[in-house]
């Protein structure tokens, strides 16, 4: 596309691209935007160096004039988007790019790979947070996804309301609180469970978390309290009938005088098993596979579409697909969320109109202006800002949005 468009000059036409999803995963009531800060960081590094250019030449992927153009590539256009942490719905224009066709079209895979994954994780994580009813959750899924996806997942889950991650790189890079517990391998390394517990307590203190389901849980809890005393920080249960086991362990801890020792559970949790444990005396959750795979929906179905461009005379033309079930609405969009008594009622997407009524909240903010990234949305500060905005944005949604039962998007999207 780039080579053909550069050859006849069409690729240099000013254009508008848009990122949106046509639908939410079945049964979901809302989605959570995540990945904005990561996308902006990657955009600033998106360059074609000598190794890449040489490979393109050697493999004859594109011609020499195109390679020369790529050698100087820098995105110089402007980008607007929903703030990271914002709720989104079908057809929400979460990202709008304005630049030449050539500059913007190269960003399709970058934008979609980031927003599709991060938003899928954040959307699933937000459901888990609401299911936990205020009890803290830790992201522990690094072993269940790609090595760099693990860092992205930890970031997205934290934005969605998780309290910590076991991924140290995510902690280093984004300022996310880190935590972890010993694995069964640590207990199995020692000749007895008692020796393993004693080694951990000697190293980390009585406030540590001891894994008690390697052998016999009742015996392990008794041993743990005998070694650490009633100041034992927490015990972790990773298997079995969790509601029954948690109740039994709570009773045993209390009887041993360890009433302040908390119980954390893991064991392939998702939003439904977390909700099922609401009545159990669980103090915190560790979630792995389900959160990093979007709880069954590992991509958010985002698409990247051209919606307007200048023609040969410089006149703006709205464009859109007419394909069955994949039609798109052309034109530069402006999105607002209407509210009644502070509760979100409707997503309104205006085409070519930037009117904002008193009952409406503007959703799009400038992220990149003439090639310059707004640094407020990047790095640890951007993560903290996104986490704060997610809490406010989801706080506007009707209470039914947080039901785990199947249903449609909690508010409709309407074009004007």
pLDDT of residue 130: 97
* 176-189 pLDDT, tens digit each: 999 999 999 999 99
pLDDT of residue 18: 98
Residues 6+ apart with CB under 8 A from 200: 182, 186, 208, 210
pLDDT of residue 225: 98
pTM of model > 0.75: yes
pLDDT of residue 406: 87
* 113-144 pLDDT, tens digit each: 999 999 999 999 999 999 999 999 999 999 99
Residues of the chain falling short of pLDDT 70 = none
* 301-358 pLDDT, tens digit each: 999 999 999 999 999 999 999 988 888 999 999 999 999 999 999 999 999 999 999 9
Could you write out the three-class secondary structure of the chain?
CHHHHHHHCHHHCEEEEEEEECCCCCCCCCEECCCHHHHHHHHHHCCCCHHHHHHHHHCCCCCHHHHHHHHCCCCCCEEEEECCCCEECCCCCCEEEEEEHHHHHCCHHHHHHHHHHHHHHHHHHHHHHHHHCCCCEEECCHHHCCHHHHHHHHHHHHHCCCCEECCHHHHHHHCCCECCCCCHHHHHHCCCHHHHHHHHHHHHCCCCEEECCCCCHHHHHHHHHHHHHHHCCEEEECCCCHHHHHHHHHHHHHHCCCCCCEEEECCCCCHHHHHHCCCCCCCEEEECHHHHCHHHCCCCCEEEEEEEEECCCCCEEECCCCCCCCCCCCCCEEEEEEEECCEEEEEEEEECCCCCCCCEEECEEEEEECCEECHHHCHHHHHHHHHHHHHHHHHCCCHHHHCCCCCCCCCCEEEC
Q: Domain residues of the chain, as ranges?
A: 2-121+297-415, 126-295
pLDDT of residue 323: 87
Class of domain 2-121+297-415: alpha beta
CATH of segment(s) 126-295 = 3.20.20.70
State the Cα–Cα distance between residues 291 and 284, nearest whole angstrom: 15
């Amino acid at each position: 596309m780039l080579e053909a468009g550069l050859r006849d000059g069409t690729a240099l036409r000013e254009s508008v691209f848009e990122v949106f999803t046509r639908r939410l995963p079945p049964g979901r009531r809302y989605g959570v935007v995540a990945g904005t800060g990561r996308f902006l960081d990657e955009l600033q590094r998106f360059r074609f160096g000598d190794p890449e250019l040489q490979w393109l030449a050697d493999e004859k992927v594109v011609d020499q004039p195109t390679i020369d153009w790529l050698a100087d590539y820098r995105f110089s256009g402007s980008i607007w988007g929903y703030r990271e942490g914002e709720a989104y719905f079908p057809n929400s224009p979460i990202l709008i790019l304005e630049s030449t066709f050539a500059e913007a079209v190269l960003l399709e895979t970058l934008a979609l790979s980031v927003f599709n994954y991060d938003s899928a994780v954040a959307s699933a994580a937000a459901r888990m947070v609401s299911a936990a009813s205020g009890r803290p959750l830790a992201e522990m899924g690094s072993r269940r996804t790609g090595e760099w996806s693990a860092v992205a997942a930890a970031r997205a889950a934290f934005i969605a309301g998780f309290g910590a991650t076991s991924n140290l790189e995510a902690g280093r890079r984004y300022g996310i609180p880190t935590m972890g517990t010993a694995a069964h391998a640590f207990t199995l390394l020692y000749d007895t469970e008692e020796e393993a517990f004693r080694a951990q307590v000697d190293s980390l203190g009585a406030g540590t978390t001891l894994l008690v389901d390697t052998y016999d849980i009742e015996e392990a809890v008794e041993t743990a309290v005998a070694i650490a005393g009633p100041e034992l920080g927490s015990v972790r249960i990773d298997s079995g009938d969790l509601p029954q086991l948690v109740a039994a362990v709570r009773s045993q801890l209390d009887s041993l005088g360890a009433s302040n020792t908390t119980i954390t559970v893991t064991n392939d949790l998702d939003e439904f098993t977390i909700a099922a444990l609401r009545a159990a005396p669980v103090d915190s959750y560790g979630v792995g596979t389900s959160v990093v795979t979007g709880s069954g929906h590992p991509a958010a179905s985002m698409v990247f579409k051209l919606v307007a461009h200048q023609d040969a005379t410089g006149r703006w033309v709205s464009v859109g697909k007419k394909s069955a079930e994949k039609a798109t609405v052309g034109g530069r969009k402006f999105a607002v969320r209407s509210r009644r008594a502070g509760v979100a009622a409707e997503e309104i997407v205006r085409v070519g109109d930037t009117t904002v009524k008193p009952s409406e909240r503007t959703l799009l903010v400038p992220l990149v202006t003439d090639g310059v990234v707004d640094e407020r949305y990047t790095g640890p500060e951007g993560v903290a800002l996104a986490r704060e905005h997610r809490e406010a944005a989801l706080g506007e949604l009707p209470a039914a949005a947080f039901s785990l039962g199947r249903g449609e998007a909690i508010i409709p999207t309407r074009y004007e």
